[in-house]
């Protein structure tokens, strides 16, 4: 059995969608970011960095795994899932697009969230910088998706990782107008039953403009902007 420590953020969805796609049994341990659950000693024992998601894999002796990308890789390697191919060329493509999200899309959108939504002072050059870079990264995704249905050829954890972030583009203030291939891919992703189940973890999904959700995210601050 796997324990999933998570919250309703893009990084959390990366883990829960992967678990749903792999049809692995797991138990959810909801982390209330607004209340600071991620900074409590019992959670820091699992992830010293105090960020979600994290898992404890009791099937493998209770090992901990933190960082969303590491969790996705661990789960695929554990199951031998084609979501992370073993063929060197295909695996390299998946890993490249996964790291594209972790090193680019996630950090840039996370900073856009902070300066556009949460920071008490509106620093327009910072807002512009992160929104424009996020849009540029979306254009890279769109260019790839004009050539292939999925980012790495076949459906993979690269799609799950990038989609989990791109889906909140409105919250980051980043438009996707004119990116037709990206928009089509987003629609195709959200029709997958496992994706629908994954974004409902740890609770039923709510509109990101919902006032209560917004307040919790504001209190969480920079804790939601990790890779």
Low-confidence ranges of the chain (pLDDT < 70): 204-227
CA angle 49, 55, 61 (to 5 degrees): 115
- Tens-digit pLDDT profile for residues 158-189: 999 999 999 999 999 999 999 999 999 999 99
Q: What is the 3-state secondary structure of 180-196?
A: HHHHHHHHHHHCCHHHH
pLDDT of residue 215: 53
pTM as predicted: 0.90
Distance between CA atoms of 34 and 218, rounded to whole angstroms?
A: 8
The strands making up 54-57's β-sheet, listed across from edge to edge, are 26-30, 2-6, 54-57, 63-66
Distance between CA atoms of 190 and 225, rounded to whole angstroms?
A: 22
pLDDT of residue 204: 52
Distance between CA atoms of 95 and 87, rounded to whole angstroms?
A: 12
Distance between CA atoms of 46 and 88, rounded to whole angstroms?
A: 32
Where are the chain's structural domains?
2-82+201-220, 88-195
Smallest CA-to-CA distance from 157 within 189, 193, 200 is with 189
Task: Please give the CATH topology (third level) of the domain spanning 2-82+201-220.
Answer: Glutaredoxin (3.40.30)
| Domain 88-195: CATH class, spelled out | mainly alpha
């Amino acid at each position: 059995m796997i324990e999933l420590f998570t919250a309703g953020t893009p990084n959390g969805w990366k883990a829960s969608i992967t678990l749903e796609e792999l049809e692995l049994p797991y138990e959810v341990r909801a982390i209330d970011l607004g209340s600071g659950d991620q900074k409590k000693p019992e959670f820091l024992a699992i992830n010293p960095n105090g960020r979600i998601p994290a898992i404890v894999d009791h099937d493998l002796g209770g090992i901990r795994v933190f960082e969303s990308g590491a969790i996705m890789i661990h789960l695929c390697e554990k199951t031998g899932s084609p979501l992370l191919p073993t063929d060197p060329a295909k695996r390299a493509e998946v890993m490249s697009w996964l790291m594209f999200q972790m090193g680019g899309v996630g950090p840039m959108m996370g900073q856009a969230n902070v300066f556009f939504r949460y920071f008490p002072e509106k620093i327009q050059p910072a807002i512009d910088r992160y929104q424009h870079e996020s849009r540029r990264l979306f254009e890279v995704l769109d260019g790839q998706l004009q050539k292939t249905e999925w980012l790495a050829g076949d459906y993979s954890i690269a799609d799950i990782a990038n989609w989990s972030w791109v889906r909140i583009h409105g919250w980051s203030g980043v438009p996707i107008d004119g990116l037709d291939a990206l928009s089509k891919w987003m629609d195709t992703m959200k029709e997958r039953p496992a994706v629908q189940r994954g974004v409902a973890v740890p609770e039923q999904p709510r509109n990101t403009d919902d006032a209560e959700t917004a307040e919790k995210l504001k209190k969480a601050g920079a804790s939601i902007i990790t890779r």
